[in-house]
Structure 1
Amino acid sequence: MTPGTVAAIMFGVLFLLIILRVPVAFALALACLPIFYFEPRLTPVLVLQEMFRSYNSFVLLAVPFFLLAANLMNVAGITDRLIRLARAMVGHLPGGLGHVNVVVSMFFAGISGSSTADAAGIGSLLIPQMKKEGFSSSFSVAVTACSSVMGVIIPPSILMVVWGGLMSVSIGGLFIAGIIPGILIGLAQMVAVYVYARRHGMGLHDRATLRELASALARAVLALLTPVIIVGGIVGGFFTPTEASVVAALYALALGLIIYRTVGRRKLAHVFYDTGRFASIALFCIGTASAFGWTLAYFRIPAALVGYVQTLDLGIAEMGFAVAIAFLVIGCFIDAIPAIIILGTVLYPVTQAVGMHPIHFAMIGIISLAFGLVTPPYGLCLLISCSIAGIPVKKALRDVALVLLPMLAILILVILLPSLTLWLPRLMMPQFVN
């Protein structure tokens, strides 16, 4: 069978199973079986072998530990402290709570690395308050869902850990590369909130005094040290990304149990159960996606794609837009981690062939996949936010599009200006990022 035939069968079966609502993790494994049936040199046992081989990775241990840190931060009441600080900083602007929502998500993104934890933790607190302040339910959902995607862009990020581990890219470099795009996306969302507030006649709120700001900062400063410890430790060479995830979990545990004393035995047991459940789902997806990706590589589909792209003579910008479109489309249907394993590993040699820097490629892919968290039919963060607000997804789509537009503008800037993602890594980690 030719690479084109194999790709058509595998992706055709995959999307058919997704349309039939088969869970993506199972659909990825089942899509490999027809190829194994037609190819006499392969057996279905190879699916299981590749799955177990993918789990034998020290880097992947960071996934459950970063999830544990995020859940512990939520249960420990960190979110309340971050909201109070954000309110003191930007609550006086038109549409105060909308800006607070965005800024809190930026803070929480630097702590958790998980967008779903962001949407659930912040949404449950701020969506009801935003509705009381005069925001519509749909716009409250849109701001919460769209701001939560910064959880996988601003370091630390679970997606960056998986990406770096799969493609041998410096995870510390990826963490640093996400800082500027993450801040720009947050500012773009605040512009959308400002326009909405002005259009609906929302006035200014009282500005917090310096004393109130200092008090809020003092209450949140220990939580805000988390990204400093994680990113600083990795960049400084004190520990690896996996060890950083363990440090983050232990630090969150110490805050909840010893310092804030807000986490009891029952809460702790529930946190461990939830973390194990979500981590097992993510890791099972990684296993089946790895088997899917191995099958593509076996039939030399990435090499065929590289050869085709070389005939087109694309530049870095054109390739960047092609990568973004590919990830934006696939992110609408499947979770980001299997999308990285399937599409990222296929496109990686293609981007190398046109001279795109691996970190630039990674940031285009991760930002594009982050949009998939708020675009149907997958849109996990959108589903969580709509569930909290008690509205159907279709009611929130118009406002989600309004918030996504300025975010798309930032993605275009990242594609056209590689220095947005490469300047900080080259400055802070020149030995790893050339």
Structure 2
Amino acid sequence: MTEAMILLSMFLMIAIGLPIALSILASALIGVWLLNGHLGFLNAALSIYDGATSFPLIAIPLFILAGALMNTGGISARLIAFVSALIGFVRGGLAMVNVGVSMFFAEISGSAVADVAATGSVLIPAMKKKGYTPRFAAAITSSSASLAIIIPPSIPMILYGALSDTSIVKLFVAGIVPGIVGGFLLMSLSYYFAARYDLPREDSFSLCRLWQTTKDASWALVLPVIILGGIFGGIVTATEGAALAVLAALVIGLFIYRELDLKRLYHALVDGVLQTSTVMLLVATSAVLGLYLTETELPQRLAQGITTITTNKLAVLMIINVFLLFVGMVLHGAAAIILTVPIFMPLVNQIGIDPIQFGILLTLNIALGQQTPPVASVLVTACSIAKTDVWGTTKTNLPFIGVLVAVLLLVTYVPAFPLWLVGVFYGP
């Protein structure tokens, strides 16, 4: 009963507008004080330090910074020009360009918010100029950005891997097939709407233009090969790969494209620090909540309670998905991962769900949460750029959200869908 009151108090503090990190910390400190008195605060301080200094988590600020440097160093613009020359000639091609650019951008930044801010600021005004409605432009930009966090590297996967002690590299591999399949489904849906509503084509296909944009974007296109090749080849860890991404983005922006001057570098650093501080503060404070949950054995009791209802793996996965969908609607992605991983991991292990599969499932639920109000962080960002309303755009976004749901169901009920490639790389 006490544990339920602690968690309820946390959600109430979030509901009245207190910062999520502060709400988590306050409720967790009350819990550890009720359990251990003032001595519990000493353990809480150690937990905060340990939670914020985990080596795998260093990858998060590095990938965030890499995304900021890409946006200010001319890399994003060249990626957009290349993908536009490649597929923009198809009816509704600019919507497909939007999806394709998100998939490329995600292979370097790992952040949906960074993706939609970088690509949306260019593509949404261009789509509106070509005759797309603001709601449609915001919807496809938002959904493709959220789907793209399934493609490695992915900050939610890094966070999940660090919290659950799961291989981050295997999570990256498991996200490749669902991410690519989901991207092509979004493109197919865009083409359907283009044909149905007579959306415009871009300029006709030009081999000369494709060749020129390929040359201009060649260094940007090499980035994912260097980063992911190094990680999957075992040459660097995910954290070292993130550092490599920052170094490569700096070199390309400063010395090759020469668009990253000191002023833009300063703004990129500030942007990276602001985004990092939000995530890492959540991580640090959640460690205290994890300490409290461990001492009360709430996750184990929750697992036991669910297994008394059913031990069917498919039914348990359905229950978890419904719960995660609700949590994703009311919490930001990092907070949702931090709160749910300690609670569900004992159940995942007890039922025999592969932790790699669960990590992809969790990441997809986070992607859905980024599209579903009231929080909908990525959708809100896209609507802000498109200057359109959130609820109206959500209605337009429903078919694209349906693609995310379809990919989630495949991951949930066809384990080979995310795990096949892991087996190819690392064996059964």
TM-score, with structure 2 as normaliser: 0.95
Residues 84-107 of structure 1: per-residue CA shift (max 9 Å, x gap): 121122212221211111111111
Question: Superposed, which structure 2 residues align to 1:392-403 within 5 Å?
Answer: 392-403=389-400
Counterpart in the other structure of 2:57:
60
Task: Report the Cα distance in structure 2 between the residues aligned to 1:60 and 1:40, rounded to whole angstroms.
Answer: 29
**2:6 equivalent among 10, 15, 18:** 10
Task: Report the Cα distance in structure 2 between the residues aligned to 1:217 and 1:129, rounded to whole angstroms.
Answer: 21
Task: Report the Cα distance in structure 2 between the residues aligned to 1:147 and 1:381, rounded to whole angstroms.
Answer: 10
Matched, 1:75 2:81: no
**2:332 equivalent among 331, 335, 339:** 335
Equivalent position SS for 1:332: helix
Shift of 1:387: 1.1
Shift of 1:33: 3.8
Shift of 1:167: 1.4
Counterpart in the other structure of 2:349:
352
Note the aligned Cα RMSD (angstroms).
Answer: 1.7
**1:386 equivalent among 370, 383, 387:** 383
Residues 322-372 of structure 1: per-residue CA shift (max 9 Å, x gap): 222222111112222222222112211211211111100110001111111
Matched, 1:232 2:229: yes
Shift of 1:38: 3.5
Question: Which amino acid is 1:199 matched to?
Answer: R
Question: Which amino acid is 1:376 matched to?
Answer: P
Matched, 1:138 2:96: no
Question: Superposed, which structure 2 residues align to 1:47-126 within 5 Å?
Answer: 47-126=44-123
Matched, 1:306 2:299: no
**1:30 equivalent among 20, 23, 26:** 26
Equivalent position SS for 1:288: helix
Counterpart in the other structure of 1:198:
195
**1:365 equivalent among 337, 362, 371:** 362
Matched, 1:422 2:419: yes
User: Closer, same or farther in 2 for the Cα pair 1:40/1:158, shift >3 Å?
Assistant: closer
Structure 2: unaligned runs, 5 residues or longer: none
**1:319 equivalent among 313, 316, 335:** 316
Residues 3-31 of structure 1: per-residue CA shift (max 9 Å, x gap): xx133112211221121011111111122
Moved more, 162-171 or 307-316: 307-316
What count of residue pairs does the alignment treat as equivalent? 427
Moved more, 159-168 or 120-129: 159-168
Shift of 1:147: 0.9
User: Closer, same or farther in 2 for the Cα pair 1:203/1:251, shift >3 Å?
Assistant: closer
Moved more, 205-214 or 356-365: 205-214
**1:264 equivalent among 261, 265, 273:** 261
Structure 1: unaligned runs, 5 residues or longer: none
Q: Given that residues 29 and 47 in structure 1 are in contact (C-alpha distance below 8 angstroms), is that contact kept between their aligned partners in structure 2? A: no
Shift of 1:204: 4.3
Counterpart in the other structure of 2:271:
274
Counterpart in the other structure of 1:219:
216
Equivalent position SS for 2:371: coil
Q: Given that residues 112 and 156 in structure 1 are in contact (C-alpha distance below 8 angstroms), is that contact kept between their aligned partners in structure 2? A: yes
Shift of 1:169: 1.2
Equivalent position SS for 1:263: coil
Task: Report the Cα distance in structure 1 between the residues aligned to 2:229 and 2:139, rounded to whole angstroms.
Answer: 33
User: Closer, same or farther in 2 for the Cα pair 1:316/1:212, shift >3 Å?
Assistant: farther
Q: Given that residues 330 and 339 in structure 1 are in contact (C-alpha distance below 8 angstroms), is that contact kept between their aligned partners in structure 2? A: yes
Task: Report the Cα distance in structure 1 between the residues aligned to 2:200 and 2:223, rounded to whole angstroms.
Answer: 35
Task: Report the Cα distance in structure 2 between the residues aligned to 1:348 and 1:36, rounded to whole angstroms.
Answer: 21
Q: Given that residues 155 and 227 in structure 1 are in contact (C-alpha distance below 8 angstroms), is that contact kept between their aligned partners in structure 2? A: no
Question: Which amino acid is 1:104 matched to?
Answer: V
Q: Given that residues 319 and 351 in structure 1 are in contact (C-alpha distance below 8 angstroms), is that contact kept between their aligned partners in structure 2? A: no
Q: Given that residues 172 and 231 in structure 1 are in contact (C-alpha distance below 8 angstroms), is that contact kept between their aligned partners in structure 2? A: no
Q: Given that residues 109 and 150 in structure 1 are in contact (C-alpha distance below 8 angstroms), is that contact kept between their aligned partners in structure 2? A: no
Task: Report the Cα distance in structure 2 between the residues aligned to 1:83 and 1:339, rounded to whole angstroms.
Answer: 31
Equivalent position SS for 1:39: helix
Task: Report the Cα distance in structure 1 between the residues aligned to 2:196 and 2:7, rounded to whole angstroms.
Answer: 45
Q: Given that residues 64 and 279 in structure 1 are in contact (C-alpha distance below 8 angstroms), is that contact kept between their aligned partners in structure 2? A: yes
Counterpart in the other structure of 1:410:
407
Question: Which amino acid is 2:125 matched to?
Answer: P
Residues 132-171 of structure 1: per-residue CA shift (max 9 Å, x gap): 1111111111111111113421101111111112212111
Residues 355-413 of structure 1: per-residue CA shift (max 9 Å, x gap): 11110011000111111112112111111111111222222121122210122111111
Q: Given that residues 139 and 400 in structure 1 are in contact (C-alpha distance below 8 angstroms), is that contact kept between their aligned partners in structure 2? A: yes
Task: Report the Cα distance in structure 2 between the residues aligned to 1:221 and 1:315, rounded to whole angstroms.
Answer: 50
Task: Report the Cα distance in structure 1 between the residues aligned to 2:41 and 2:28, rounded to whole angstroms.
Answer: 8
Shift of 1:309: 2.8
Q: Given that residues 170 and 356 in structure 2 are in contact (C-alpha distance below 8 angstroms), is that contact kept between their aligned partners in structure 1? A: yes
Q: Given that residues 175 and 231 in structure 1 are in contact (C-alpha distance below 8 angstroms), is that contact kept between their aligned partners in structure 2? A: no
TM-score, with structure 1 as normaliser: 0.94
Task: Report the Cα distance in structure 1 between the residues aligned to 2:246 and 2:332, rounded to whole angstroms.
Answer: 24
Shift of 1:45: 4.5
Moved more, 211-220 or 179-188: 211-220
Q: Given that residues 88 and 207 in structure 1 are in contact (C-alpha distance below 8 angstroms), is that contact kept between their aligned partners in structure 2? A: no
Which consecutive segments of 4 or more residues in structure 1 shift more than 6 A? Answer: none
User: Closer, same or farther in 2 for the Cα pair 1:367/1:239, shift >3 Å?
Assistant: same
